[in-house]
Amino acid sequence: MAELLLASGSSRRKELLDQIGVHYQSASMDINESVHVNEAPSDYVLRLATEKVQAGIELKPDMVVLAADTSVVVAGNILGKPDNAQAAHDMLRLLSGTTHQVLTGIAVAQRIQGKVSIASQVVLTDVSFSVISDQQIELYIKTGEPMDKAGAYGIQGKAALFVARIQGSYSNVVGLPLAETGKLLQRFHIPVWLD
């Protein structure tokens, strides 16, 4: 049975894999995450997941590699991780009272007889925020929670109070859509708790 490399240092992705009983090693991949000119959000997250999985295969050629990239998208614009408190404030102001999309590109790869086989998918979830005040935004920023998260919020943390409704995969919003990831891993003979 092949071992799995999670090509990510994300504690949230590790917790999600633990939740479905997957055994893995992990390593962060250093790739350029700049958006290409006129690149659609779904193409962007899929490209980054694919680049991460390819970097993981180079690092650990004998392992199955899983990679993912999650972005928050408002009106077609990709919101990355905020650089500072003002950027976080601006993102949360933009999300207030609106519905946005969370897209995750997931890719799984394995080298078999010198050839790399990759399976990938993009998962989309709609997230609707209540109207949040400037004071609530400032209080949330003071927690430090928004600073390492796409779109400046974590649904699994204190920002859960801002979320009025989601349509689609909850774990996708956290950073790894588990139903879809589990199916991809099973195609590469990586067991989940059901196995």
Average pLDDT value for residue range 80-87: 94
Instruction: Give the chain as a 3 state SS string.
Output: CCCEEECCCCHHHHHHHHHCCCCCEECCCCCCCCCCCCCCHHHHHHHHHHHHHHHHHHHCCCCEEEEEEEEEEECCEEECCCCCHHHHHHHHHHHCCCEEEEEEEEEEEEEECCEEEEEEEEEEEEEEECCCCHHHHHHHHHCCHHHHCHHHCCCCCHHHHHEEEEECCHHHHHCCCHHHHHHHHHHCCCCCCCC
The separation between CA 169 and the C-alpha centre of its own chain, rounded to angstroms, equals 12
Catalytic residue among 30, 69, 83, 134: 69
Indicate if 134 belongs to the active site: no
CB 184 within 8 A of CB 122: no
Structure tokens, 30: 């250093």
Return the pLDDT at 1: 52
Q: What's the predicted TM-score (pTM) here?
A: 0.93
Fold of 4-187: Maf protein (3.90.950)
Q: Where are the domains of the chain?
A: 4-187
Structure tokens, 118: 């990759």
Q: What is the pLDDT of residues 116-140, one digit of tens each?
A: 999 999 999 999 999 999 999 999 9
Is the model's pLDDT at 2 over the cut of 90? no
φ, ψ at 184 (rounded to 5°): -65, -45
